[in-house]
Amino acid sequence: MTGKTGVRFEEAEKRKGVILTSIAVSGAALGWLTRGSPTLMGAVALLTTYFMTGDRYQWLYIWKKTHYRDFLGLRVLLYTIFRIWLWERQGKTVVARWGDVVKMDPEKKAFIMDDRALTFREGDEFSNRISWYFKRQGYKPGEVIALFMETQPEYVFLWLGLAKIRVTTALINTNLRGAQLIHCLRIAGCKAVVFGDEMTAAIKEIQHEIPDIPLFQYNSPDRPAAPALQDTAPLAAELREMSSDPVADCGEAKPRDTLLYIYTSGTTGFPKAAIITNIRYLLIPLGVQRAAQLNTTDVVYDPLPLHHSAGGVLGAGLAVVSGCTVVLRKKFSASNYWSDAAKYGCTATQYIGEICRYLLAVPPGPNDRAHKVNVIIGNGLRPQIWPEFVQRFGIKRVLEFYGATEGNSNLVNLDSKVGAIGFLSRIFSTIYPLTLVKCDEITGEILRDGNGRCITCGPHEPGLLLGKIDAKKAILTFAGYADKTASEKKMVRNVRTEGDCYFNTGDVLVMDHYGYFYFKDRTGDTFRWRGENVSTAEVEGVISTLIGLKDAVVYGVKIPHVEGKAGMAAIADPEKTLDLTSLAKGLRSSLPSYARPLFIRILPESTLTATFKLKKKELMEEGFNLENIKDPMYFLDQKSGEYVPLTQKLYDDIMQDVVRL
């Protein structure tokens, strides 16, 4: 169930005559200009003959349709590669680049949140106090300190201050509690924890489990002074005694030294600590700034958590690396998104995951277009709502990109192609070595040919995206995770030649004839039913559109005596307004029979990750078992085509193969 994306390439056939006529006319014109020169006339004839044979006219057609996009992308890529190469040769680190940025305009606002702001100078001085404080506490280069704090202007300057004394910071997801929180501290080898006073309860809960890890409590100026948790140091108060001058005797960091640990927030399993080096932190904002055509006068709205790469590297990095002013928000609010953008004069905004769907779900209002936003930057804008979104909110440009916190396989959509997550030039494809290879979409297992090499996908063939790892080139490196075993699992060897190595994104994409990429699914999310592969991402997009942009999670569930997995959709409906009759009708007209979910589960509330992705693991494990689930569930009656309540008798009949599927 791949679906056709983009314009059908067969249209090129209709234009073959036009192209060949153009070549002939051009040849005649060149012949006239050459005034009968045998050599040049022969060259023109050979060129014309070359393009008139085989399928070469198709490449002319592709070039005609994509040359502007490709040269724009090539310019962005080459600029970014050159700048990063130059910075690495110069030994540039994030701290060094920050020093350059501060000098540009010290009194300009770096970060704004609510009615409070820190200028570049104030942020630099605050980070210097952090450096002095932790240096005097005895922390040494290479050690790791965890930062467990909600978004606020001081957040970035806390880890930047630690970086100035070459201490690595582990940015902990503020949604973690208990065992997962302890795991994140241990896996990165944290020697201390700096936590915001708003996280006191979470720290108190695990304090007896981490008696060997010193705790430093930072009380935010946004709130009344809170008493320090027992056996913790009152960091905010003690910082006032520190110098705001830079620490000068900590040695020189290197571009490939570890700067941060950022934890992958995926939908399953314990988080993994991804290594963010100095050069990678520099690369991400630099590439986005160039692609989005931002400069230091731009104001960027970043309502995303700073412990994640989208908010903390891409968003905050536009201040640290590029000198933009960045507006922060403690927690994303759909109803305040556009009013915030207007209030602070934002010219660019960020989104991720389901944010755009939430914005569309807000009733239309005067703030929809009362803003100066020229470009929105992010990933996860579903193709089903893309045209409506840009029309309603007056968005001139969508910079949809694809990438992972730890990965080297990055794509960007430079020309706002609806639904595309990026592109790779068919003409210049060797410059940036990404490839789609055939795999089992259910298990994710890579398929290989008789020589043991991966099988490359053609246009419109779904495949697993791999990115070549080249340690010599900063843009193609893979630093991996704190857990080296986890790093090895993400590498695929002998992809095209003996000994080569690629990063496995775990994502199944589709590329069209023009080189545009479209997201299909995560490997393992696809399931097989009635002999067909079902993409959960595609079904989720259809269902969400049909039910008024509510949250919907789709997954496969096993039924005894039946091959494959049946589709099940868990829908968040706290207002209890879901119309199942209308949903069934819409699914009949929008999806083939094998893709329509057999089961519906009504959730009282939505479950999201920190990056606005819908959680699936627990729902998949629970399946449709009536004994363990108290939520209302429904079954698609095979005769009526309607969803009916899943009663105990119906459940038993399904399990005993009485109901024919």
Q: Is 517 helix (H, G, I), strand (E, B) or coil?
A: strand
When divided into structural domains, the chain yields a total of: 2
Q: Provide the CATH number for the domain around residue 531.
A: 3.30.300.30
The token duo for 374 is 């020229």
Would residue 348 count as lying in a domain? no
The DSSP 8-state label assigned to residue 634 in this structure reads E
Q: Which of 290, 312, 331 is the last residue of a domain?
A: 331
Look at residues 268, 309, 504 and name the one whose alpha carbon lies nearest to residue 401: 309
Among 303, 331, 359, the domain boundary falls at 331
Assess if residue 36 is contained within a domain. no
Among 331, 350, 365, the domain-final residue is 331
Within-domain flag for 112: yes
CA distances from 281 to 83, 213, 406, 582, 646 (A): 13, 27, 11, 47, 50
Closest residue by Cα to residue 570 from 591, 539, 530, 531? 539
Enumerate the β-bridge partners of residue 70.
none
Residue type for position 220: S
Pairwise CA distance, residues 252 & 91, whole Å? 9
Residue 84 and residue 279 in contact, taking contact as beta carbons nearer than 8 Å: yes
Residues 6+ apart with CB under 8 A from 559: 565, 566, 654, 655, 661
Are the beta carbons of 454 and 422 closer than 8 angstroms? no
Percent of the chain that is helix, strand, coil (3-state, to 5): 35, 20, 40
Rounded Cα distance, 416 and 389, in Å: 12
User: What is the reported pTM?
Assistant: 0.80
What end-to-end distance do the CA atoms of the chain give, in Å?
20
Which pLDDT score is estimated for 8? 45
pLDDT score of 50: 47
Which two tokens mark 276?
């963010």
- pLDDT recorded at residue 28: 43
Domain contains 431: no
Which residues form the domain of 598?
A: 525-655
Residue 206 lies in a domain: yes
Helix axes 120-136, 154-164, angle to 10 degrees: 50
Residue ranges in the chain whose pLDDT is less than 70: 1-57, 265-269, 427-430, 531, 607-614
Query: What's residue 250's pLDDT?
Result: 80
